[in-house]
Amino acid sequence: MKKTTKLKQLLQNKSTEFILEAHNGISAKIVEEAGFSGIWASGLTLSGSMGTRDCNEMSWSDILNIVWKMADCTSIPILLDGDTGYGDFNNARYIANKFEQVGVAGICFEDKLFPKRNSFAKGEEQELCSISEFCAKIKAIKDSQIDSDFCMIARTEAFITGGNTDSALDRANAYYEAGTDAILVHSCAKDASQIEDFMKSWHNKCPIVIIPTTYYTIPTEVLENMGISMIIWANHMLRVSIRAMQKAAATIYKGKNVREINDDIANVLEIFRLQNMDELYSAEKKYLGR
């Protein structure tokens, strides 16, 4: 089955699906091996892994070079965080096509202005683009996609910028009418009240995706009962790796050796396994006779 079809089915399933963030080839492979059905290629963690800020400091082509390797070494679909689309409808459709060509199964664009800034970085001070401008992006992407199963997800930042439920619904309804495959309703609240209010008035018009980074303590069954189609754990692979690397670096520096941490880290053979070195050994035997 095509990766695009897999992602579309995940969004349209009656049960709530879960996908996890990855930011390079090896983290993507780990996500797949853990059992997840899909990968979130996060703008925050892709830029963070390169040491740049989540403010469109990395170009879309920089991100393309990372994500195509993620797609190349995994068999589950990747949903890309495409920020705002790097410009108007023409930029958005061009970029969507390029990521589709390298194996991305779907792309998510948000309704803020370019250059965007991460939603946790003074989100209430950020501005949204007009509804008509964002609908033009949706229509352009859907008209120009190559594979009919390629998914475009419209992300509204209405709650992030201080809007109420009505403003979020106004935008979501417009995006639904414009043809989006799903809507990501983003909230940085400490509880799920904004999402709950939204869902009470949504009536399952199209799949709803959420990112419960700040309201992660809400029991999963509560979110499932609201009718959420997909939950994204959006930045946890990078966050856990940062903590592990900081601890390891400090321990090695202090002890001037690696004995204390050696039993807690992956050995080189595990890296080789994730890199699929066995395939190379087999190929060398076949083609080089060794």
Residue 18 has pLDDT above 70, yes or no: yes
Same domain, 143 and 284: no
Written as six digits, the tokens of 74 are 């995994």
Q: What tens digit of pLDDT does each residue of 253-288 get?
A: 999 898 898 988 999 999 999 999 999 999 999 999
Same domain, 227 and 259: no
pLDDT at residue 250, rounded to an integer: 94
Same domain, 232 and 248: no
Q: What is the mean pLDDT of residues 205-212?
A: 96
pLDDT, averaged across the chain: 94
Q: Token pair 């083609």 is at which residue?
A: 287
Residue type, 240: V
Written as six digits, the tokens of 34 are 């853990």
Q: Token pair 């999402």 is at which residue?
A: 195
Cα torsion for 80, 270, 237, 59, to the nearest 10°?
A: -40
Same domain, 140 and 126: yes
Residue 205 has pLDDT above 80, yes or no: yes
Same domain, 125 and 175: yes
Contact status, residue 257 vs residue 229, Cβ threshold 8 Å:
no
Closest to 282 in 3D by CA, of 274, 273, 290:
290
Distances in whole angstroms, Cα of residue 117 to Cα of each of 10, 64, 126, 175, 193: 28, 19, 8, 21, 24
pLDDT at residue 118, rounded to an integer: 75
Q: Please say if 54 is a catalytic residue.
A: yes
Closest to 186 in 3D by CA, of 218, 153, 219, 217:
153
Max Cα-Cα span within the chain: 68
Distances in whole angstroms, Cα of residue 193 to Cα of each of 15, 46, 141, 226, 277: 21, 30, 32, 11, 48
pLDDT at residue 14, rounded to an integer: 87
Same domain, 99 and 179: yes
Same domain, 124 and 263: no
Same domain, 129 and 200: yes
Same domain, 71 and 159: yes
User: pLDDT grade, residue 121 (50/70/90)?
Assistant: low
Q: What tens digit of pLDDT does each residue of 144-196 get?
A: 999 999 999 999 999 999 999 999 999 999 999 999 999 999 999 999 999 99
Domain end point (choices 199, 216, 237):
237
Same domain, 219 and 259: no
Distance CA 203, CA 210 (A): 16
Q: What is the mean pLDDT of residues 56-83?
A: 95
Written as six digits, the tokens of 222 are 């509560």
Domain end point (choices 237, 259, 274):
237
Q: Is the dihedral of CA 48, 50, 53, 56 positive or negative?
A: negative
Q: What is the mean pLDDT of residues 106-126?
A: 81
Residue 201 has pLDDT above 70, yes or no: yes
User: pLDDT grade, residue 122 (50/70/90)?
Assistant: low
Q: What percent of the chain has pLDDT over 70?
A: 98
Same domain, 257 and 184: no
Distance CA 100, CA 189 (A): 33
- Which range marks the domain in which residue 255 is found? 242-288
User: What is the pTM (predicted TM-score) of this model?
Assistant: 0.94
CATH number at residue 94: 3.20.20.60
236 three-state secondary structure: helix
Q: What is the mean pLDDT of residues 128-140?
A: 97
Domains held by the chain: number: 2
Residue 123 has pLDDT above 60, yes or no: no
Same domain, 160 and 85: yes
pLDDT at residue 114, rounded to an integer: 85
Domain end point (choices 237, 259, 280):
237
Residue 235 has pLDDT above 80, yes or no: yes
Contact status, residue 181 vs residue 152, Cβ threshold 8 Å:
yes
pLDDT at residue 290, rounded to an integer: 78
Closest to 183 in 3D by CA, of 156, 145, 212, 201:
156
